[in-house]
Amino acid sequence: RWSLGRDGLAATTSTSSNDEAHEEVHERCAKRLQALFLSNGGIYIKIGQIMAEMAHMFPKAYSRYMMQLYDQACLSSLGEVQRVFRDEFGTDPLYVFDSFSEQPLASASLAQVHVAKLRGRKMAVKIHHHSVSRNAFMDMYALRLVVHAASWLAPNTQLFEWAARAIENALIRELNFLQEMENCREAEDYMLNNPIPNVKFPVVYPRLTALSVLTMGYEEGVPLSDRQAMLAAGVSPHHVSKLVSQIFCQMLFVDGFVHCDPHPGNILVTWSNDEEGENKKKKEDTGNGKKSSPGIVVLDHALYRRLSPDFQAAHRCLWEGAFSGDVDKMMSAAKRMLDPKDSSHITEDQAQKLVEMVTNVPWKSLASESVHPRDRIALLEGGGSSSSSSSSKGGE
């Protein structure tokens, strides 16, 4: 007998041999799947990247191989870029802009960005790869078909059907630049009504934006992960971390409109050496003699999730329970997050898994009565590693 599920395909014999068989099958299949995604490119690269972010659902081998796809970028020729632009606007980008770079500034799995200028304004033009625009929906249909077939062959893989639906929903939103434009505008409106300083969203140009083309103002900055560049400019990484936390706490707990793809490349750090006005009060000494006021530019607004007030309240309760060690509060909150209307059918195991996903800390550590409050805070700050908190304090 053979079983196919989260633990892979393996003969159901003895437990010890199963573990070894599972690992071997995971490794082989994950490697093959990565090769398939690389061969097909485009939307398949994006599917692999989304799978990498679902590490809580897939065996470790899949997460490891899918993570490598973040370094794989598709590249469209200038001719293909011009074709997509003509399909949307009926003319060539070289006739619309005063200048348009032949080489992309950046390229990802679904689109690439070119630098353009129009009437003295520097712009970033994000354009879908031609193959993505042409094949995306057939590729998503193929994904549904494969997952449905796997579920028919092995009934214990319904979880993968849910994952496939989640991936498809994310892809549909990422393929609609008109929706991304609206998300960017709405998120900016929310931020204008709160006291968080130095947060910026790109200016979007509606007349130069369509389903497959998004034209924005060009924004300078360094990726959130570039700590050395921040220190060299006199920017405190601690101050930047605090500012980013404020932004996303505002989205999660107040606005209820949440950016769902906040990887370092989508968050730029800027700085100002202006010594006048309010900026002077916000300077921080980084220890190297320089002082700069950091700012944040939030990019890539394709993936947003709107949270209901009930969900937000339950989410707050979950974190309160996690920090206080209140197991009943965590469980009750997790069940309400999974089904705000009727949580009676939610199992303890499902609730515990959600708590682990939200906090990134094993349930046993959160539920343990022997964990000191100070260690509990360190666990939650470090995502399950108490040592990460202390090391971060030592060097900002």
Question: Quick one: average pLDDT of 195-223?
Answer: 93
Give the pLDDT band (50/70/90) at residue 291. low
pLDDT in tens, 265-287: 899 999 976 544 444 444 445 55
Of 128, 162, 136, nearest in space to 147 by CA: 162
Residue 183 pLDDT > 70: yes
| Lowest-confidence region among 1-5, 152-156, 348-352, 365-369 | 1-5
| Lowest-confidence region among 49-58, 128-137, 162-171, 225-234 | 49-58
Quick one: tokens of 64?
A: 């490891």
pLDDT at 274: 52
Residue 230 pLDDT > 50: yes
Q: Tokens 């579920």 — which residue? A: 151
pLDDT in tens, 334-363: 999 999 888 889 999 889 989 988 988 888
Q: Are 356 and 379 in contact (CB under 8 A)?
A: no
Residue 89 pLDDT > 80: yes
pLDDT at 279: 45
pLDDT at 290: 61
Residue 394 pLDDT > 60: no
pLDDT in tens, 310-325: 999 999 999 999 999 9
Query: What's the distance, CA 358 to chain centroid?
Result: 14
Instruction: List Cβ neighbours of 345 (8 Å cut-off, separation of 6 or more).
Output: 339
Alpha helices in the chain (DSSP H): 15-40, 43-53, 60-67, 78-89, 93-96, 130-153, 158-174, 177-192, 227-232, 237-249, 309-324, 327-338, 348-359, 363-367, 373-382, 386-394
Radius of gyration (C-alpha) of the chain in whole angstroms: 23
Classify residue 126 as left (phi > 0), alpha (psi -120 to 50) or beta: beta
Arithmetic mean of pLDDT over the chain: 83
pLDDT in tens, 248-262: 999 999 999 999 988
| 291-298 and 199-200 strand pairing | parallel
Of 132, 41, 133, 130, nearest in space to 79 by CA: 130
Residue 111 pLDDT > 70: yes
| Lowest-confidence region among 54-58, 144-148, 236-240, 343-347 | 54-58
pLDDT at 383: 56
